[in-house]
Structure 1
Amino acid sequence: MQKLLTNIVKRAVGFYINAVSHVYPATAAKLAYKFFSEPREGKLAKDRLPDVLQSADAEILTHGEFIFQMYTWKGNDTKILLVHGWESNTSRWEQLLTYLKKSGSTIIAIDAPAHGLSSGTEFNIPRYAEFIHVIIGRHKPQVLIGHSLGGATALYYQSHYPNDVVEKMVILGAPCDLDTILNNYKNMLGLNNKVFSLLQNHFLKHFRISTKDFSGSLFASKIKAKGLLAHDIDDDVVAFTEGKKIAGAWPDAEFVVTKGLGHSLHDDKLYKKIYSFIFGKEAAL
């Protein structure tokens, strides 16, 4: 029943945006982008943080008009940066942290724009990449790990802010093409072709992004760091073909195919693989 009601609401929103587009196209574009970019889940309250986050050193950083939350589990000079995905927050890394801590490394994680304790109501990849750039400049992590849209942001970052600091990248369940994401959004709300074009123009006008050229495979083709990609055949959020496209374009990356893990990709065997990729040895369990 809840799923049915949610679908009805989504279709009602799409119907309204379609109707507005015929009279006020600029307003329709703003509405379509607003529903596309504003997460409905993933925020946290300072007084009700998950235990895994309470065990870290927390710090609020500023970037222009934005503030974003950083967490650090202190260790040695090897540093790992974790970048979560859509409608999530740093706590999603709790299971992987169990493995990474065994290395003695310093582990850093950030909340995305409009997620966790970070400010804002809008998520977009270029801004998230700016947050990453601040952390890379300050702490110089050698390893970058991203899940879902966090993985897509990591690819965008490393191609648009090329550097020799990041030596290895782990990308989990990441989407590849922005146009594919927009098409899925269009179909979910039942938006018409006019609204879809308005959305494409919105990205071009406000972010100087051609959605057809905004592609994880294009970004990956420019990356020199070693990569490990993982994508599940049964992922019902991001199609397996998306991960396959990224893997095919990355010059120095291993593609790990899983089954039955879904989009979350929480799995001991996979985490052991990630540990071995980063440190060149098995985790001491």
Structure 2
Amino acid sequence: MDLALASAAVSVRVTAAVSPRWGAAVAMPLFGYVATPRPVHVDDEPTMLRARLRTVRIPGIDRRGVDVDTYEWGRGPRTVVLSHGWNGRASQFSVLVRELVAEEYRVVSFDAPAHGASGGRRTYLVDWLDVFAALQERHGSFDAMVGHSFGGLATLVGVAGGVDAARVVTIAAPADADLLLSQFQAMLGYPDTVAARMRELFATRYFPGQPDPFAWLSGVRRPLPPGIPLLVAHDHGDRVVPFGESGRIVDANPGAKLLATKGLGHNRILVDDVVLDAVLDHVRAPLAEVAPVAAEEFGAVAA
């Protein structure tokens, strides 16, 4: 936690001691706050320099409009969309991008609002969904979608909500938005009374008129439509998103395959050869071969 956020956390706790409602009001603007974007890793720069740069315009968390930077590689007839996580950026997928382009896919990714090269300082899952819709309008149906971490949850929610994707891969993804609120509470250290008010305030502010937005901000309460093959990759030692989240996703989506790794953590899993091979196999296999038939788990150990 940076100094500014730590100071804000103290303010939330002090205010909460007076009124849980006031504490939630102070905490709410921090929930969508994104830290300064990470730089592009030197190893990823050549891939990013070869991308075709475009933008899509979405409403943004404040519904005032925001431009989102998008990246395209390859010109194949089949489109794969890659969705990064919180505090991530498109460049994290550089190795997978190169593999998919070599397989003659058109690969599309983006920097969500407040991430990478895109502007803003605040965002939330709805922004990912709006980007998916804009990319669908531009490219048509997706042959596959791959989402990492928060981007994996957004992918599950998006496809369950109607985004046209033939296959889905999640990597180190949470199962629902409830985990994110719980982690936010743990980070700021406010009591359960404030947490309850936070849920109410979140629903009222961003989803007016919806009695329970958490019912659909979930890969568990609203699973993928039947017939969409799902690969779930997660590392046992992930310190950002607990490995148990993968089991919740698999249990909610009959026939999903679980790739359980060891020693890769939350981010190195994106560049591991075993994981990359599994993703490629899932994406390029004929649907009749990867269609869900039974839950399956297979392990991978980092070298």
Q: State which drifts further: 206-215 or 94-103.
A: 206-215
Deviates more, 1:182-191 or 1:209-218: 209-218
2:151 is matched with 150
Q: What is the RMSD computed on CA atoms of the aligned residues?
A: 2.4
Supply the distance in 2 between the matched residues of 1:63 and 1:12 (Cα, whole angstroms): 32
Aligned to 1:62: 57
- List structure 1 segments (4+ residues) > 6 angstroms apart after TM superposition: none
Task: Choose which of 23, 28, 38 in structure 2 pairs with 1:28.
Answer: 23
Correspondences of 1:39-58 after superposition (within 5 Å): 39-42=34-37, 50-58=45-53
**How far did 1:31 drift?**
3.0
Quote the residue 1:3 is aligned against.
none
Amino acid at match of 1:176: A
- The residue number in structure 1 matching 2:279 is 274
| Equivalent residue number for residue 176 of structure 1 | 175
Higher mean alpha-carbon deviation, 136-145 vs 29-38, is at 29-38
Give the helix-richer structure, 1 or 2.
Answer: 1
Partner letter of residue 148 of structure 1? S
Alpha-carbon distance in structure 2 between the residues aligned to 1:228 and 1:159: 15
**Number of aligned residues:** 271
Q: What corresponds to 2:9 in structure 1?
A: 14
Output the CA distance in 2 between the equivalents of 1:154 and 1:221.
10
Alpha-carbon distance in 2 for matches of 1:229, 1:174: 8
Q: Is the 8 A contact 2:58 2:127 kept in 1?
A: no
Q: TM-score, normalised by structure 2?
A: 0.81
Whether the aligned pair in 1 keeps the contact of 2:80 and 2:108 (CA below 8 Å) is yes
Q: Describe the SS at the equivalent of 1:218.
A: coil
Quickly say closer, same or farther: Cα 1:25–1:119, change in 2 above 3 A.
farther
TM-score for both structures, normalised by structure 1: 0.86
Alpha-carbon distance, 1:25 to partner: 5.6
| Letter matched to residue 118 of structure 2 | S
- Kindly provide the CA deviation profile for residues 143-181 of structure 1, in whole angstroms up to 9, marking residues without a partner as x: 111000000000111112x25x31011111101132222
Please state whether the residue corresponding to 1:107 is helix, strand or coil: strand
Q: Which consecutive residues of structure 2, in runs of 5 or more, have no partner in the other structure?
A: 60-64, 287-303
Gaps of 5+ in 1: 1-5
Which amino acid is 1:280 matched to? A
Q: Counterparts of 1:279 and 1:227 in 2: how far apart (Å)?
A: 13
Distance in 1, Cα, partners of 2:213 & 2:237: 26
Provide the residue aligned with 1:38 in structure 2. 33
Distance 1:51 1:29, change over 3 A: farther
The answer to whether structure 1 residue 234 and structure 2 residue 229 are counterparts is no
- CA positional deviation for 1:197: 1.8
Distance 2:259 2:235 in 1: 9
Superposed displacement of residue 121, structure 1: 1.8
1:66–1:223: structure 2 CA closer, same or farther, 3 Å change rule? farther
User: What is the match of residue 250 of structure 2?
Assistant: 247
| Gap change, CA 1:143 and 1:237, over 3 Å in 2 | same
Q: Which moved more, 1:227-236 or 1:212-221?
A: 212-221
- Name the % identity: 24
